[in-house]
């Protein structure tokens, strides 16, 4: 087995890129992801990693170079966050449209304005329609493992879609945790070299990124749709393969004490551990709570959400992002997944932990109270609740 | 057209498109071991309507502002994969994708020192979107966003001196060219490709649709631009402007008015002799700087 090391989340994603034998790393620094290009630079400077490091003048150019490199047949990874992901946004859609299996570690960080460097999921949530697969890590170990698996899933010829792995700003990116770092030979055994279908090759010239008229455009998009569907199966296969080789089990959605639960909290990322501990405390108080952690957000785990929904009276969705004018984005997707189910639980949406505000047991107790009241009322008037707002700041202006 | 052309007929370029002729010449010189990263624009739209292509070399288009960055990725990937030897990596973009929206990516590519030849096809406005002004548009040219109105006579401000700005990055080779001087153009492309490090060639590309002239005049207008001194043919190795070499000096410069007369975009100027005199003065000063 691997070597136990105490490392930051950013180091975990960088070492994953090294172990994956990434060929090209186009990168641009941004808090809280900067340690990724720093670490890769160290590896390259010390001859520990045989990669081309391309330090661009913007995130837009980093993703553009990633596209050029991936189309040339290279395995490509980079890292970014927040505004950096926004600057890449245009190119994210082009990377997926061109079916290039680029992998990006995203240090999930709030979006400006006001400028804020701390954790929430606004950055990746706003890219949920970009055609990228999305994985969310709860721990530094998961960040490393999901990065490794992301290459294998993305590069599978049934998929050929890019992937982003989210790790919460500071809570994971900058926090030291014990991580089992796999050995190179173990990773080589798990992850074969990238075998592209088509490349920019002077011996077999092809046109990449051509002009698609109404006569052809929809079929390109349908193929991306189908690829996301295939990814559901491939993800299960790769998760199973990973468990066989490394002994660590991953699921698209992981459940905790849900079997007899009346209230199930739905979480993503680092808060999931807090959710499980809160579930234990709520149960000590006689409240039948459970928790479910979404690990794979794109493709959305429709069937798993439907199964979990059957178990509860209330699904309490924690959204670390907001779609202004409707609700949190995870909530809308869950509501959509359940819309044609004959029996479904009541759905509550909790906008929580934006811009790095801590999510504590007290918040879970408050959410459980709202869920209990909802069960008692038997109906939902307004499903969206903002948790732990500082009301004193909102009263009477500035 | 010869069968060994790498940029082939059947594309949807307008009759008389200066850029199409220029692209053909560039690829004749670059040869088949060439990969092109192309910016969004007329060139991409007219040549790659799926499922057809006019390109017989590997070609990639991603977006408008990033041909230099995409080419950078191709460059390093091929290097890493051991496939870089003997392959030319080129970036193609229009003036909008170079002077304006692609300027940052271009500067980054130059600074990083990639062995890439960047060719800008300069038709002096956003033609693909329907003739809007650009920082490449010359003074007083009428475009759809700098119309010759009753109060404002066309584009205000000067044309950005892109090749000088590029050369100021102290890159391997910078040059300007036109399709009216094909030998000069090909020699410059050859020098650019043979240079170690970034190189840049600005090709003056008359646009019959955008400039409003008969399609058979593209070559003539290229020649007129040089003969009036409006467009100067030069080359430079490195960033010291003292070393600029003028590759073609008109024996006797023609008045700029003769160039304006042939194009609808300058028609309003013909009634404004003071504006013509102003441009003539500026061209004279520029030519004096170049030593002719």
Task: Tell me the average pLDDT across B178-184.
Answer: 98
Q: How confident is the model at residue B3 (pLDDT cuts 50, 70, 90)?
A: low
Q: Say if residue A95 is in the same domain as residue A150.
A: yes
Give B1 or A204, the one with higher predicted confidence: A204
Q: Say if residue A78 is in the same domain as residue A10.
A: yes
Q: Do B77 and A69 touch (CB under 8 A)?
A: yes
Q: What is the pLDDT of residue A398?
A: 54
Query: Residue A378 is part of a domain; what is its CATH number?
Result: 3.40.50.920
pLDDT digits (tens, 9 = 90+) for A32-47: 999 999 999 999 999 9
Q: Do B105 and A64 touch (CB under 8 A)?
A: yes
Cβ atoms of B222 and B23 within 8 Å: the answer is no
* CA pair distance A265, B124, nearest whole angstrom: 59
Whether A397 has a pLDDT exceeding 90, the answer reads: no
Q: Say if residue A89 is in the same domain as residue A225.
A: yes
Whether B136 has a pLDDT exceeding 70, the answer reads: yes
- A chain contacts of residue B105, beta-carbon cutoff 8 Å: 57-58, 60-61, 64
Q: How confident is the model at residue B291 (pLDDT cuts 50, 70, 90)?
A: confident
Closest to A211 (Cβ–Cβ): which among B48, B77, B112? Answer: B48
Task: Tell me the average pLDDT across B43-55.
Answer: 97
Q: Comparing C-alpha atoms, which of B74, B140, B129 is closest to residue B101?
A: B129
Cβ atoms of B19 and B13 within 8 Å: the answer is yes
Whether B1 has a pLDDT exceeding 60, the answer reads: no
Closest to B59 (Cβ–Cβ): which among A64, A67, A208? Answer: A208
Residue of A nearest to B55 (CA): A207
With an 8 Å Cβ cutoff, is A59 touching chain B? Answer: no
Total number of domains in chain A: 2
DSSP for B52-84, please give it: --SBSS-EEE--SS-HHHHHHHHHHHHHHTT--
Closest to A61 (Cβ–Cβ): which among B32, B37, B108? Answer: B108
Q: Comparing C-alpha atoms, which of A94, A177, A76, A134 is closest to residue A295?
A: A134
Q: Do B105 and A73 touch (CB under 8 A)?
A: no
Task: Tell me the average pLDDT across A340-348.
Answer: 97
- A chain contacts of residue B108, beta-carbon cutoff 8 Å: 56-58, 61
With an 8 Å Cβ cutoff, is A216 touching chain B? Answer: yes
* CA pair distance B281, B127, nearest whole angstrom: 28
pLDDT digits (tens, 9 = 90+) for B195-230: 999 999 999 999 999 999 999 999 999 999 999 999
Question: How does strand A103-108 pair with strand A77-80?
Answer: parallel
In a mutational test of the B interface, the residue from A210, A213, A219 whose CB has the highest number of chain B CBs within 10 Å is A210
Angle at A165 between CA A163 and CA A166, to 5 degrees: 140
Residue of B nearest to A28 (CA): B108
Cβ atoms of A152 and A189 within 8 Å: the answer is no
- Rounded to two decimals, the pTM is 0.98
Q: Do A65 and B34 touch (CB under 8 A)?
A: no
With an 8 Å Cβ cutoff, is B103 touching chain A? Answer: no
In a mutational test of the B interface, the residue from A56, A61, A94 whose CB has the highest number of chain B CBs within 10 Å is A61
Give the percent of chain A with pLDDT over 70. Answer: 99
Q: Say if residue A164 is in the same domain as residue A82.
A: yes
Q: Do B66 and A206 touch (CB under 8 A)?
A: no
- Looking at residue B129, what DSSP letter applies? T
Q: Say if residue A271 is in the same domain as residue A177.
A: no
Q: Do A54 and B49 touch (CB under 8 A)?
A: no
Whether B2 has a pLDDT exceeding 80, the answer reads: no
Q: How close does chain A come to B191, measured CA to CA in Å?
A: 21
Region at B86 (left for phi over 0; alpha for psi -120 to 50; beta for the rest): left
For residue A264, list its beta bridge partners. Answer: A290, A315
End-to-end CA distance of chain A: 57
pLDDT digits (tens, 9 = 90+) for A270-303: 999 999 999 999 999 999 999 999 999 999 999 9
* CA pair distance A210, B40, nearest whole angstrom: 10
With an 8 Å Cβ cutoff, is A221 touching chain B? Answer: no
Question: How does strand B59-61 pair with strand B234-236?
Answer: unpaired
Residue of B nearest to A89 (CA): B63
- Rounded mean pLDDT of chain B? 97
Could you list the residue range(s) of the whole structural domain that residue A180 is in?
3-246
Task: Tell me the average pLDDT across A8-19.
Answer: 98
Around Cβ A214, how many Cβ atoms within 10 Å? 6
Around Cβ B75, how many Cβ atoms within 10 Å? 28
Closest to B62 (Cβ–Cβ): which among A72, A209, A213? Answer: A209
With an 8 Å Cβ cutoff, is B50 touching chain A? Answer: yes
Whether A192 has a pLDDT exceeding 50, the answer reads: yes
In a mutational test of the B interface, the residue from A27, A51, A53, A64 whose CB has the highest number of chain B CBs within 10 Å is A64
With a threshold of 0.95, tell me whether the complex ipTM lies above it: yes
Measured CA distances, A187 to A46, A142, A144, B263 (Å): 21, 15, 11, 65
Q: What is the pLDDT of residue A211?
A: 97
Q: Comparing C-alpha atoms, which of A67, A69, A54, A63 is closest to residue A84?
A: A63
Q: Say if residue A373 is in the same domain as residue A233.
A: no
Q: How confident is the model at residue A123 (pLDDT cuts 50, 70, 90)?
A: very high
Task: Tell me the average pLDDT across A300-318.
Answer: 98
With an 8 Å Cβ cutoff, is A94 touching chain B? Answer: yes
Q: Which of residues 67-86 of B touch A (CB under 8 A)?
A: 68-81, 83
Q: Say if residue A125 is in the same domain as residue A234.
A: yes
Task: Tell me the average pLDDT across A70-90.
Answer: 98
Query: Residue A225 is part of a domain; what is its CATH number?
Result: 3.40.50.970
* CA pair distance A115, A13, nearest whole angstrom: 25
Give the percent of chain B with pLDDT over 90. Answer: 98
Closest to B35 (Cβ–Cβ): which among A50, A94, A202? Answer: A202
Task: Tell me the average pLDDT across A203-211.
Answer: 97
pLDDT digits (tens, 9 = 90+) for A210-235: 999 999 999 999 999 999 999 999 99
Q: Say if residue A288 is in the same domain as residue A224.
A: no
For the domain made up of B18-290, give the CATH fold. Answer: Rossmann fold (3.40.50)
With an 8 Å Cβ cutoff, is A52 touching chain B? Answer: yes
Please list, in sequence order, all residues whose beta carbon lies within 8 angstroms of the beta carbon of residue A93, skipping any fewer than 6 positions away: A130, A131
Report the residue count for chain B.
Answer: 292
Q: How close does chain B come to A229, measured CA to CA in Å?
A: 25
Q: Say if residue A171 is in the same domain as residue A286.
A: no
With an 8 Å Cβ cutoff, is A73 touching chain B? Answer: yes
**End position of a domain, from candidates A198, A223, A246:** A246
With an 8 Å Cβ cutoff, is A219 touching chain B? Answer: no
Q: Say if residue A239 is in the same domain as residue A262.
A: no
Q: How close does chain B come to A49, measured CA to CA in Å?
A: 12
């Amino acid at each position: 087995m691997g070597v136990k090391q105490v490392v930051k989340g950013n180091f975990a994603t960088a070492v994953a890129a090294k172990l994956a034998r990434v060929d090209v790393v186009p990168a641009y620094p941004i808090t809280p992801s900067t340690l990724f290009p720093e670490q890769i630079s160290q590896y390259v400077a010390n001859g520990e990693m045989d990669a081309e490091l391309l330090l661009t003048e913007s995130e837009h150019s980093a993703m553009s170079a990633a596209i050029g490199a991936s189309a040339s047949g290279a395995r490509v990874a980079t890292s970014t966050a927040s505004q950096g992901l926004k600057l890449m946004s245009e190119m994210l859609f082009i990377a997926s449209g061109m079916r290039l299996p680029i992998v990006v570690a995203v240090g999930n960080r709030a979006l400006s304005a006001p400028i804020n460097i701390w954790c929430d999921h606004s950055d990746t949530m706003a890219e949920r329609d970009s055609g990228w697969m999305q994985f969310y890590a709860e721990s530094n170990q998961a960040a490393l493992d999901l990065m490794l698996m992301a290459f294998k899933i993305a590069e599978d010829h049934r998929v050929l879609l890019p992937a982003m792995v989210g790790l919460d700003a500071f809570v994971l990116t900058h926090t030291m945790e014990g991580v089992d770092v796999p050995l190179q030979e173990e990773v080589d055994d798990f992850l074969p070299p990238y075998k592209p279908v088509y490349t920019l090759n002077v011996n077999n010239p092809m046109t990449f990124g051509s002009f698609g008229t109404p006569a052809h455009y929809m079929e390109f998009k349908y193929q991306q749709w189908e690829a996301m569907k295939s990814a559901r199966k491939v993800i299960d296969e790769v998760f199973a393969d990973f468990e066989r080789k490394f002994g660590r089990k991953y699921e698209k959605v992981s459940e905790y004490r849900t079997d007899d639960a009346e209230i199930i909290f739905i979480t993503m990322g680092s808060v999931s551990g807090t959710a499980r501990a809160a579930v234990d405390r709520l149960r000590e108080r006689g409240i039948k709570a459970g928790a479910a952690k979404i690990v794979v957000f794109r493709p959305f785990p429709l069937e798993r959400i439907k199964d979990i929904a059957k178990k509860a009276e209330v699904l309490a969705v924690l959204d670390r992002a907001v779609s202004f004018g409707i609700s949190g984005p995870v909530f809308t997707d869950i509501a959509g997944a359940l819309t044609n189910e004959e029996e479904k639980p009541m759905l509550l949406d909790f906008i929580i932990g934006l811009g790095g505000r801590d999510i504590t047991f007290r918040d879970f107790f408050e959410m459980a109270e709202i869920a209990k009241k909802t069960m008692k009322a038997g109906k939902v008037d307004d499903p969206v609740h903002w948790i732990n707002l500082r009301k004193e700041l909102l009263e009477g202006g500035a | 057209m010869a069968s060994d052309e790498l940029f082939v007929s059947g594309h949807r370029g307008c009759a008389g498109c200066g850029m199409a002729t220029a692209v053909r010449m560039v690829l004749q010189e670059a040869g088949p071991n060439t990969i092109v990263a192309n910016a969004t624009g007329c060139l991409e739209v007219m040549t790659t309507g799926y499922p057809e292509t006019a390109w017989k070399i590997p070609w990639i288009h991603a977006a408008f502002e990033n041909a230099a960055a995409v080419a950078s990725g191709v460059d390093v990937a091929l290097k890493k994969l051991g496939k870089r030897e003997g392959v030319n990596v080129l970036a193609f973009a229009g003036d909008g994708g170079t002077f304006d929206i692609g300027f940052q990516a271009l500067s980054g590519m130059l600074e990083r020192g990639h062995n890439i030849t960047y060719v800008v096809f300069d038709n002096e406005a956003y033609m693909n979107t329907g003739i809007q002004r650009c920082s490449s548009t010359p003074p007083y040219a009428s475009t759809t966003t700098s119309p010759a109105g009753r109060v404002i006579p066309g584009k205000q401000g000067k044309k950005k001196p892109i090749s000088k700005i590029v050369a100021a990055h102290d890159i391997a080779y910078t040059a300007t060219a036109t399709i009216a001087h094909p030998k000069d153009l090909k020699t410059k492309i050859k020098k650019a490709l043979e240079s170690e490090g970034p190189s840049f060639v600005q090709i003056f590309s008359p646009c019959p649709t955008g400039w409003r002239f008969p399609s058979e005049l593209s070559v003539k207008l290229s020649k007129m631009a040089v003969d009036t001194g409006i467009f100067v043919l030069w080359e430079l190795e490195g960033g010291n402007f003292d070393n600029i070499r003028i590759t073609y000096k008109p024996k006797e410069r023609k008045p700029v008015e003769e160039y304006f007369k042939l194009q609808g975009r300058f028609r309003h100027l013909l009634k404004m002799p003071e504006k013509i005199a102003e441009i003539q003065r500026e061209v004279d000063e520029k030519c004096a700087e170049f030593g002719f």
